[in-house]
Amino acid sequence: MTNPLEYRDIIDAGRYPIDRTHDPRRQAVVDQVRAELADDGCAVLRGFFSPAGLAALTAEAESRKAQAYYSPRSLCNVYLNDGDPAYPEDHPINRFMPRSNGFVTADLFDAETTARRLYYWDPLKSFLADCLGKPELYIYEDPVSNMIVNVGAPGQQFNWHFDTNEFTITMLLRPAETGGHFEYVPNLRSTDDECYAEVGQVLDGDRSRVRRLELDAGDLQFFLGRFSLHQVTANTGATDRLLLIMSFAEQPGMIGSRERVQNLYGKITDAHLQRRVRADGLVD
């Protein structure tokens, strides 16, 4: 068994000294992220990982991708739920689109994996909190989905949707050779307004507010996906797209809804039966 990488060796600590709270380079990165998030809810740190760190994370994802869960439900709405018969058939909540990507769930990564160790590393959590302007972040306590790998095999896609969490941290391990583009519509809804009409316009093909982000292997992305509609277009290349997703929460004890976790990941636990009510009233 090889010795695990030291935490600072997983990332490019020269560019991103995230565990050195008084280093002016760290503050410069924090300022950069905050400015980008304020602009459109999306920020990217290019080349966040060291070559060794990226290789370790990619190898872990690669060795587990055969265990990825692919939902038998090939169609999903943007809220990743079962729709609502109280609304018309053409309402956004009842419009279902193709989704074919898979997920390697959190329970498949043991405590010694590079990904799991990094997820629980306090300096990373503190750095992310500073970048997001939050006083503190907590581990997202969902035992199935708090740290997952999104697998986009050739031909697969993840159509328009909103996230459960206000923000998500994603790390691209391997891009698609072609296709597999991340697209988003910034701030399409708010905590007190679903903005169904605007969502419907995007679903009808209006791309006037759609932005496309080009990402490379090793990039870390901050994204406010609770409010911004987003998708990953079809992978038109010949290799799998691998994306590590780490979720955090502003309150302790937060997990995903039973319905959403079952639909996306194919399993739930006792924790999902005792789920806390969300802080906002948006459709999950």
Global pTM? 0.92
In this model, does residue 219 exceed pLDDT 70?
Answer: yes
The confidence score (pLDDT) of residue 73 equals: 81
The confidence score (pLDDT) of residue 256 equals: 84
For the residues 54-70, what does the mean pLDDT come to?
97
Instruction: Write the burial class of residue 234 (CB in 10 Å: 0-12 exposed, 13-18 middle, 19+ buried).
Output: buried
The CATH-assigned architecture of domain 24-273 is Sandwich (2.60)
Helix (H) or strand (E) holding 187: none
User: Do 74 and 98 touch, CB atoms closer than 8 A?
Assistant: yes
The confidence score (pLDDT) of residue 72 equals: 87
**Mean of the per-residue pLDDT values for the chain?**
94
The confidence score (pLDDT) of residue 142 equals: 93
The confidence score (pLDDT) of residue 237 equals: 98
The confidence score (pLDDT) of residue 254 equals: 87
The confidence score (pLDDT) of residue 259 equals: 83
The confidence score (pLDDT) of residue 281 equals: 67
In this model, does residue 8 exceed pLDDT 70?
Answer: yes
The confidence score (pLDDT) of residue 80 equals: 85
Read off the pLDDT band of 2 (50, 70, 90).
low
Short-list 159, 152, 181, CA closest to 92: 159
Give, as one character, the DSSP assignment of residue 222: E
In this model, does residue 167 exceed pLDDT 80?
Answer: yes
Count the alpha carbons within 13 Å of 71 in the hemisphere toward its beta carbon: 24
What sign does the CA torsion over 89, 95, 100, 106 have? negative
In this model, does residue 109 exceed pLDDT 90?
Answer: yes
For the residues 8-22, what does the mean pLDDT come to?
97
In this model, does residue 276 exceed pLDDT 80?
Answer: no
Read off the pLDDT band of 278 (50, 70, 90).
low
For the residues 172-188, what does the mean pLDDT come to?
97
The confidence score (pLDDT) of residue 258 equals: 87
For the residues 176-183, what does the mean pLDDT come to?
97
Q: Where are the beta strands (DSSP E) in 116-251?
A: 138-139, 147-152, 158-161, 168-174, 182-185, 211-213, 220-223, 229-232, 241-246, 248-249
Residue scoring higher pLDDT (18 or 263): 18
Q: Give CA–CA dist 123/7, Å, rounded.
A: 9
Read off the pLDDT band of 257 (50, 70, 90).
confident
Residue scoring higher pLDDT (2 or 72): 72
For the residues 39-63, what does the mean pLDDT come to?
98
* Three-state SS at 151: strand
Short-list 116, 136, 115, CA closest to 125: 136
Show the DSSP H helices in 91-180 as ranges. 114-119, 122-132
Read off the pLDDT band of 166 (50, 70, 90).
confident
% of the chain exceeding 70 in pLDDT: 96
For the residues 103-123, what does the mean pLDDT come to?
97
